[in-house]
Amino acid sequence: MEFGSILRKMRVVADISQEEMAEELHMSRSNISRLENNRMELKAADLIKWCRITNNPDVLMALYAGVEVVNQLQPITQLITGTILLLGGLFI
């Protein structure tokens, strides 16, 4: 699975530059570019950190669940969060 466009969209929506992301992830700006252009393999630990930095834990859940998040990042994550909250409320 290629994550580049998802990573870029998450970073841009969070208003974080490639330089800032590189600093947060302790890697070079060129590695951030490589990740966003699918020219470098994304490690699970880096994906988790990326989601935390951009404040997008729902994207991680969507990717884990196999939900397509490329084109409609926000609505899908809101749907997943709402579903989880609803199901959690039903079982409490």
* Sequence ranges of the domains in the chain: 4-90
pTM over 0.85: no
pLDDT of residue 76: 52
DSSP single-letter state for residue 42:
P
8 pLDDT above the threshold of 50 = yes
Higher pLDDT among residues 62 and 38, named by residue: 38
pLDDT band (50, 70, 90) for residue 57: confident
Phi, psi of 68 (to 5 degrees): -70, 120
Rounded CA separation 27/32 (Å): 8
Rounded CA separation 11/25 (Å): 12
Q: Domain 4-90: give its CATH code.
A: 1.10.260.40
Give me the percent of the chain exceeding a pLDDT of 70. 70
* Lowest-confidence pick of 5-14, 20-29, 71-80: 71-80
